[in-house]
Each structure stands twice: as C-alpha cells, then as structure tokens.
Structure 1
C-alpha cells in the first residue's frame, strides 16, 4: 500500500513500501511536482524506445528528495512548514520515500545504508534551515 503523509491536503511525503509490486508503470507524484517518482515493472523482452530528454526550462523552488533504503531501519519524523512535529514512520530495507514538502528529521535505528536523489546543483547550507527536532519521548510512531 502506498502511503501519503499529508497536512491540510498538502503532500509532505510519499512512501513506497518494499513489498509494492504491480505490472506496468505507476506514477506516484502529481504532474506539478519538481521531482517525479514512478514504479515500473515490465516482462522480459519489453522494449523501451531509445530517447533523449529535451531541454525544458524548469523552476525549482523547494528541494524534493528521494531516499532508497538499502539496509537497516530509518525513523523519519515529519514536520509542517511551521516546524511543528506531526508524526513519524519507520522505513526498512527496500522502502522508498519522496520527501516533497514540510520539514523532516531522521534517526538510524540500525546500521543504515541509503541512497539520496535530489535536484541540483547543490547549494550547501543555503538549501536548508536547521531546527530542533522532536524529543524521543514525544515521538508518535504510526504503524504501516
């Protein structure tokens, strides 16, 4: 089951569990997201036509990032744009998450390997504003 973390109708994150599978192509993101996320499953012999991507000017206002959990467990804490804590989820190996808006913090619950993909170019500390996260005793962990 695909899970969306939302607040007031705004998508903060999309979680694709490691168990997700269906034939064909499935996009999880709205067309207006600056980071597009899809799942593809094709039978042997399926041909994807050779192609190049055309130069299309795009404006990226907020960084969106995708995390691929390769090994271990990661707790992700979700915050609204006002830096108020909302809830948390635990991701495991094979899970994928798109962090689309709002704020987030994380803690490795086990030795962790993950891959991050986000828009560039990298702007260093101009890219983010850090703030104090939720205290562990206030974590609201939602079951998946």
Structure 2
C-alpha cells in the first residue's frame, strides 16, 4: 500500500513569505502577525491624529490664528510622516522609509497607500490559506464519501 505524502511546509511557506517591488527595489517580507500588528497599530495612531484635529472647535481654531493653525497641521503632518517612515524601516529595513518617501515623490499619501497595500498582503494571505484549507477539506470529504459508498 502506498503512503500519500502531503508537504504542509510548502503550503505554509507560500503564505508567510513574499517579495514586493517598491520604487525599483525588491523587498523580501515575512507575512506574520507581527507585521499585521505593526501596520494596524500605525493605522490606529493615524486615526487618532485625525480625530484630535477634528476635536478642535471652530472657535478654538479661529482663536489660535492662521499661524497657529499652520503650526498644528504642520506638526501633525510631520509626526504622521515620521511614524510611517519608522514603520516602513521596521518592515523593510533601516532607512527604507525615508528612501521610499524620496523615491515616491516626497508624498505622505504615497506612503499611506503603500502601508495599506502591505496590510492587504497580510489579509490576502489569510484568505489564500483559508481557500487552500477549504480545498483540502473538500478533497477529504469527497474521499470519505467515496469510501462509505464502497463499503455499502
């Protein structure tokens, strides 16, 4: 009787490692909970900044004057940019956040899009894994169903 061999390592590796090309450079990334956690934390931090900005009343905004408003927005924008570059450094390598910022035209919105896409890679890998598990379960179900028919 032949023994069926199933290589689960290959399935796991396919869903935990990837290479992404960004601004002309290929980055190997590990798709794991730590990656997802870091990207999710960053998105939560960014949402907090925008919520704080939204909490400033119109009266307060008028009270601080144009220079005050400009300073608040500039500081917030700089903080957001710094946090995004720091996160990209953690995920892609030292100084890669700054390199990407420069290569992508010094656009914070481009970094934000990039971070969203990296997060999507994680969620897509989970969907891919679930799809593969369903396929395996369907095969097993068909196999056991056929076995039962043969016994009758």
- Fold-level similarity (TM above 0.5): no
Greater percentage in helix: 2
Larger radius of gyration: 2
Greater percentage in strand: 1
